[in-house]
């Protein structure tokens, strides 16, 4: 219980905010478990962390696989090493220009999937 505060001066009003997570978690049992860091709360947060880690590993591995495919492709087809596109060697085009769309698509997919993971976690915590 909060201590009694003196009444506000005439013409003024007092604005008070709720305290931290415990006050907002009062109505939601799952949110309370997380705020109190109980066993269930830790388990839920750990599952979110694991899913985000798994997502990062999958997207990072896929990106590295595509990045490593370029030297493999150049090794399997040596005629690509001597090709020129617009006066620039083909390997430079593949690595310098061709890889940027892959980076952007990987980042976009990761961001969307991470947002979905967090929304699913928030739906679970909201206890609708």
CA dist 102 and 68 (Å) reads: 12
Q: What is residue 116's predicted lDDT score, i.e. its pLDDT?
A: 93
Q: Residue 47 phi/psi, 5° resolution?
A: -65, -35
Q: What is residue 58's predicted lDDT score, i.e. its pLDDT?
A: 94
Buried b or exposed e, range 39-49, using 16+ CB within 10 angstroms: eebeebeeebe
Q: What is residue 83's predicted lDDT score, i.e. its pLDDT?
A: 87
Q: What is residue 23's predicted lDDT score, i.e. its pLDDT?
A: 46
- The pLDDT averaged over each successive group of 10 residues in the chain (128 residues) is 65 59 51 65 83 93 88 87 86 83 90 92 74
- Residue whose pair of structure tokens reads 């008070």 in the numeric block: 16
Rg (CA), the chain: 27
* Cβ atoms of residues 63 and 103 within 8 Å: yes
């Amino acid at each position: 219980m909060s201590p009694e505060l003196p009444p506000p001066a005439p013409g003024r009003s007092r604005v008070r905010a709720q305290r931290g997570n415990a006050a907002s978690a009062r109505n939601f049992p799952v949110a309370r478990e997380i705020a109190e860091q109980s066993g269930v709360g830790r388990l839920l947060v750990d599952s979110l962390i694991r899913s985000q880690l798994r997502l990062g590993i999958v997207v990072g591995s896929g990106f590295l696989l595509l990045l490593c495919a370029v030297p493999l492709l150049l090794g399997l087809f040596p005629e690509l090493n001597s090709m020129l596109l617009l006066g620039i060697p083909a390997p430079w085009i593949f690595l310098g220009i061709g890889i940027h769309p892959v980076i952007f698509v990987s980042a976009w997919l990761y961001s969307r999937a991470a947002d979905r993971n967090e929304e699913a976690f928030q739906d679970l915590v909201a206890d609708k």
